[in-house]
Amino acid sequence: MQIQTMTCRFCDRECHMAVSLDAAGRPAAIRPAHEEGTISCPTGLHALELMNHAQRVKHPMRRAGPRGSGQWEEISWDEAFDLATRELQKTLDQMGPEGLLFIKGFNKPLQSAVFDRLANLLGVPNRLGAGNMCHQAQAQSFVDTFGFPADRRITAETRTVVLWGSNPSNTMRWVQRDIAEMKRAGGRLVVVDPLPTRMTELADLWLPIRPGTDMALALGWMRLILEEGWEDADLLSRWATGLEDIRKACAPYTLEYTAALTGLAPAQIRQGAEWFACAKPGILFGGNALDHNWDSYQKGRCLAILLALTGNVDVPGAALHAAPPSGRNPIRTPRLTCADRFSAAWRERMWGWDRALLPTARQTSGQAMLQGIEAGKLRTGWVVGGDPVVMWADSRRTQLVLQSLDFLMVQDFFLTPTAQIADLVLPVATYLEYENLFFEGDGSIQYRPALVSGSDARSDMDIINEMGKRLGLADAFWPDMDGFWNFLLEGSGVTLEELRTTGRLEGDGTKRQPAPRGYRQCGFPTADGTIHLALPELEERSGGSVPRYRSLPEPDEAYPDRCTNYKSPFFFHSAGRQMPGQRTRQPDPVAYVSEDVAAREELREGDWARITTPTGETCQRVHIGLGMPAGTIALAIGWWDTDAAGERDVLAGNCNNLTSDQTLLGGEIQAFSCRGIPCRVTKEERVD
Beta strands in 89-239 (DSSP E): 100-104, 127-128, 150-152, 160-164, 188-192, 205-207
| Within a domain: 17 | no
pLDDT of residue 34: 64
Residue 32 lies in a domain: no
The answer to whether position 37 is within a domain reads no
Q: What is residue 37's predicted lDDT score, i.e. its pLDDT?
A: 45
Sequence-distant (≥ 6) Cβ neighbours of residue 503 within 8 angstroms: 446, 447
pLDDT recorded at residue 648: 65
274 and 298 belong to one structural domain? yes
Residues 119 and 171 grouped into a single domain: no
pLDDT in tens, 84-114: 999 999 999 999 999 999 999 887 889 999 9
Pair 279, 164 in one domain: yes
CATH number, residue 215: 3.40.228.10
Residue 188 lies in a domain: yes
Collapse the DSSP code of 43 into the 3-class scheme (helix H, G, I; strand E, B; otherwise coil) and give the result: helix
Return the amino acid letter for 403: Q
> Are 354 and 497 in a shared domain?
yes
On whether both 179 and 294 belong to a single domain, the answer is: yes
Element (H, E) at 439: strand 436-439
* CB-neighbour burial class of residue 239 (10 A; exposed 0-12, middle 13-18, buried 19+): buried
Contact 417, 433 (CB under 8 A): no
CATH number at residue 620: 2.40.40.20
Residue 299 and residue 416 in one domain = no
In a domain, 1, yes or no: no
Q: Is residue 556 part of a domain?
A: no
d(C-alpha 70, C-alpha 144), whole Å: 48
- What pLDDT is attached to residue 275? 97
Look at residues 72, 126, 9 and name the one whose alpha carbon lies nearest to residue 425. Answer: 72
d(CA 560, CA 616): 16
Q: How far is CA 397 from the centre of its chain?
A: 22
CATH assignment of the domain containing 79:
3.40.50.740
pLDDT at 311: 98
Residues 478 and 608 in one domain: no
> Do residues 311 and 337 share a domain?
no
Report d(CA 590, CA 620) in Å as an integer.
Answer: 5
Q: Is residue 444 part of a domain?
A: yes
Tell me the three state secondary structure of residue 217: helix
14-55 confidence digits (pLDDT tens): 888 889 999 888 989 988 886 554 555 788 888 899 999 999
Residue 8 domain-assigned?
A: no
How far apart, in whole angstroms, are the C-alpha atoms of residue 213 and residue 320? 27
Cα dist from 678 to 132, 210, 615, whole Å: 23, 12, 11
d(CA 485, CA 505): 14
Q: Are residues 296 and 349 in the same domain?
A: no
Task: Report the DSSP beta bridge partners of residue 635.
Answer: 565
**Which of these, 195, 179, 253, 257, lies nearest to 222 by C-alpha position?**
253
The low-confidence residues of the chain, meaning pLDDT below 70, are 34-40, 543, 645-648, 687-688
| Torsion sign across C-alpha atoms 363, 313, 306, 237 | negative
Q: State how many domains the chain has.
A: 3
Q: Quote the CA–CA distance of 47 and 436 in Å, as a whole number.
A: 15
pLDDT of 624 reads 98
Do 92 and 172 belong to one domain? no
- Residues 262 and 298 both lie in one domain: yes
Question: How many H-runs (helices) and E-runs (strands) does the chain carry?
Answer: 26, 27
Residues 152 and 129 in one domain: no
- Chain-centroid distance of CA 273 in Å reads 28
Q: Which domain holds residue 99?
A: 61-134+327-505
